[in-house]
């Protein structure tokens, strides 16, 4: 289905309000991506589908930023279970590559926006 940027933003906004992360899947090449575009960044197709994400993923890479007087900030690329990646910041955490994270929404001056936090791995079954 052909999407407009406004349509995508509306879909994202209404899902963020309900605490749900979303992404876009290309109908032609199955590429998945997060940042709103009206064409597939891989194949250029305009036949796209809006999808809901589980909101769970793993840390793909991260950078720690030290600034005087404030807690370290962690900027990360998170890869969601559905395969798409997004840039985010993970607060109060010591992540490593592969750490499990989940989305949560926080009120910002642009409305509710997705952030990520670490989730404790359940212990391996004995
Ligand atoms: Zn595509």
Taking only the tens place, the pLDDT of each residue in 32-46 is: 999 999 999 999 999
In a domain, 123, yes or no: no
Q: Do 47 and 77 sit in the same domain of this protein? A: no
Give the per-residue pLDDT at 72: 82
User: With contact defined as beta carbons under 8 Å apart, do 50 and 33 qualify?
Assistant: no
pTM of the predicted model as reported, rounded to 2 decimal places: 0.87
Expressed in angstroms and rounded, the spacing between residue 24 Cα and the centre of ligand 1 is 10
Expressed in angstroms and rounded, the spacing between residue 25 Cα and the centre of ligand 1 is 8
Q: Do 105 and 66 sit in the same domain of this protein? A: yes
Pairwise CA distance, residues 33 & 57, whole Å: 14
Q: Do 48 and 60 sit in the same domain of this protein? A: no
* Ranges of the chain whose pLDDT falls below 50: none
Expressed in angstroms and rounded, the spacing between residue 47 Cα and the centre of ligand 1 is 8
Give the per-residue pLDDT at 17: 96
Count of the separate structural domains present in the chain: 2
Q: Do 47 and 75 sit in the same domain of this protein? A: no
């Amino acid at each position: 289905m052909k999407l407009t940027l406004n349509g995508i933003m509306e879909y994202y906004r209404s899902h963020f309000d309900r605490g749900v992360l979303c992404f876009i899947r290309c109908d032609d090449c199955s590429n998945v991506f997060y940042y709103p575009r009206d064409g597939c960044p891989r194949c250029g197709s305009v036949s796209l589908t809006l999808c809901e994400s589980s909101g769970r993923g793993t840390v793909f890479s991260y950078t720690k930023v030290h600034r005087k007087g404030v807690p370290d900030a962690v900027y990360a690329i998170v890869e969601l279970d559905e395969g798409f990646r997004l840039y985010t910041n993970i607060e109060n955490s010591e992540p490593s590559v592969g750490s499990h994270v989940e989305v949560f929404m926080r009120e910002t001056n642009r409305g509710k926006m997705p952030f990520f936090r670490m989730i404790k791995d359940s212990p391996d079954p004995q």
